[in-house]
Amino acid sequence: MVRSYFHLHLVSDSTGETLINVGRAAAAQYEGVSAIEHVYPLVRSGAQLERVINEIEQAPGIVLYTLVGRELTERLEEACRATGSPLLSVLEPVHQLLQSYLGTHSTARPGAQHMLNAEYFKRIDAMNFTLAHDDGNLPVDLNEADVILLGVSRTSKTPTAIYLANRGLKTANIPLVPGVPPPPVLETLRKPLVVGLIASPERIVQIRQNRLLSLKADDSSSYVDRDAVADEIATSRRLFARNRWPVIDVTRRSIEETAAAIVDLHREHRLKFIAS
C-alpha cells in the first residue's frame, strides 16, 4: 500500500494535549494516510504566533487550534486563508453548544483546564501510590487502593496501572507467579476493585520472547513455553472465577481500551460499595 502524508499544524495557547489527542484520533481513521505533526504549545503572544505562521507558510496543511484570544485567532485565520490551509477551532463547536444550553458566555482563560485544583492533586497522589505499589510491592495497605490488577507476567499490568493513576485512581498491580500464592488479604478486601487481566498464550509467549531477546537472556525456560504459559493463564482464570473478580482479556486491547473498561467497572463497584 502506498502511504501518503499531509502536514497537520496544532496551535494551542496551552499544552496542546487536547489538539494532539483529537488530531491523532481523527487521522487514525484514514488508512494509508499519515499526518506530519507540527505542534505549537503555549502560543500566547503575537510574536509567538508569527513564528507559527511562518512554519505554516513553509508547509501548508490542515490547521487545528485552541486559541482563546480574539486578536491571535483573527491573525491565524488571515494567514491560513492566504496559504490555502483549512482551519478549525476544535473547541468552538463545544463552546457554542455550551453557551446555547447554559445561556451564558465563557471567560477566555488560556490553559484553564490545567489549573492546580483538587483533581490535580488527586492524580498526583494516585500516581505516587501506584508507583509505590508496582509489581506486588507494599501489599500491607492494599485496602487503600481504588483498583488492584492481577495477572501473569506480561499482561500489561504496569502500563495500565499508570494510565489509571493518571485518571486519579490509586492502582496496585500484583503478578501471579507459578507456585507463589497471591497475598491472602486480597480475598478479604471490600473497598478496592480487583480485576484479573488475561491474554492468549500465543500473545504472552510473543511478548516474553521479545523481552528475553532485549535482555539477551536464555529463552529455553518454561517462561516462554507455550504449554506452561497456557497453564499459568488457566490457573489465573480459576483464581478469578473462585473470587468472582471481573476479567479483561487484553490480547487485542490497547492500554487505553483496557483502562476505559476498568474505569467503568470501578464506577459500578464504587456505587455498590457505597450502597452496602
Helix H or strand E segment including 147 = strand 147-151
Per-residue pLDDT at 113: 53
What single-letter DSSP state applies at residue 114? G
Set out the domains of the chain in order of their start, with CATH numbers. 4-102 (3.40.50.2300), 115-275 (3.40.50)
Per-residue pLDDT at 250: 97
Nearest to 37 by CA among 15, 54, 59: 59
Q: Is residue 130 a known part of a binding site?
A: no
Share of the chain above pLDDT 90, in %: 67
Q: Is residue 195 a known part of a binding site?
A: no
Q: Is residue 122 a known part of a binding site?
A: no
What are the pLDDT digits (tens) for 223-247?
999 999 999 999 999 999 999 999 9
Provide the 3-class DSSP secondary structure of residue 190.
Answer: coil
Low-confidence ranges of the chain (pLDDT < 70): 1, 106-117, 219-220, 276
Q: Is residue 158 a known part of a binding site?
A: yes
Residue 116: which residues within 8 A CB-CB, separation 6 or more? Answer: none
Question: Measured between alpha carbons, how far is 237 from 247 in angstroms, rounded to an integer?
Answer: 8
Per-residue pLDDT at 107: 63
Task: Tell me the pTM.
Answer: 0.67
What single-letter DSSP state applies at residue 244? T
Per-residue pLDDT at 117: 62
Q: Is residue 153 a known part of a binding site?
A: yes
Residues listed for the chain? 276
Q: Torsion-angle region of residue 97: left (phi > 0), alpha (psi -120 to 50) or beta?
A: alpha
Per-residue pLDDT at 175: 97
Per-residue pLDDT at 181: 92
Q: Is residue 66 a known part of a binding site?
A: no
Per-residue pLDDT at 15: 82
Q: Is residue 157 a known part of a binding site?
A: yes
